[in-house]
Amino acid sequence: MKRVPPPRLRSAGRIVAKGVVYLIALLLAIVLAGLGVLETGWAKNEIRNLIVRQANEYLTATLEIGRLEGSLLRGLRLGDIRLSRGNDAIVTIDEIELSYSLRELWQNGTVIRRIRLTRPRVVGAKQADGRWNLGALVKRESKEEERSGPGRPIEILSIEVVDGTVRLNDPLQFGAAYVPTDYEHLNATLAFSYRPVNWTLRFTNAEFVGQAPDLTIDRDARGEESEIASSW
């Protein structure tokens, strides 16, 4: 097993984690946009179209959802999700399952009990302004000094990533060291907490196979948590 010194791994983790944070914001946009219409008598196809239109108001990219299933009271299941700019797919996900309580979605912030992402595929690249596309997916709202983000506290108790893939089209370098640009077989369990404008990701376990250069991380069998925290 080839190991990367902890400071470099943490720095790489922050970049990947920020993409996760914005993906989470995208999922919340989907949920909040959909809650107001799921009780209507419209066909689910029309409801799905309405959710996509409203969710895209939060985004700097274009969201598509192939199917919508589930119940307002118990949770939603979305399939064939694609987030893109032009012809370039940034995020595609086979299926997303969300479990929540209606009361917890609105009281003192937003709480989602569980999100499961099945086979997410993420492509990161630098934009013309030098920023990573993963860090510029969601339109900014609340501000604290020079930082901004959603104005509502958010907590996701469990996030499960199953068989994910991450590809960085631009190299990620820290000093003389490079971190992998391709990650396959990504499986992780984590939790997310956001208080304007600071967020925290707490990892229970994670595993992936990295390439270019090679780096393999095995699942933490001890169940010890690690944490990444930053400002929006």
83-105 pLDDT, tens digit per residue, is: 998 888 999 999 999 888 877 77
Q: Indicate the pLDDT class of residue 1, thresholds 50, 70 and 90.
A: very low
| DSSP one-letter string for 70-84 | EETTTEEEEEEEEEE
Instruction: Give 116-170 pLDDT, tens digit per residue.
Output: 999 999 998 888 888 888 878 877 655 545 555 556 788 889 999 999 999 988 8
Give a three-class secondary structure readout of 162-196: EEEEEEECCCEEECCEEECCEEEEEEEEEEEEEEC
Mean pLDDT across the chain: 75
Residue whose token pair is 């979305």: 78
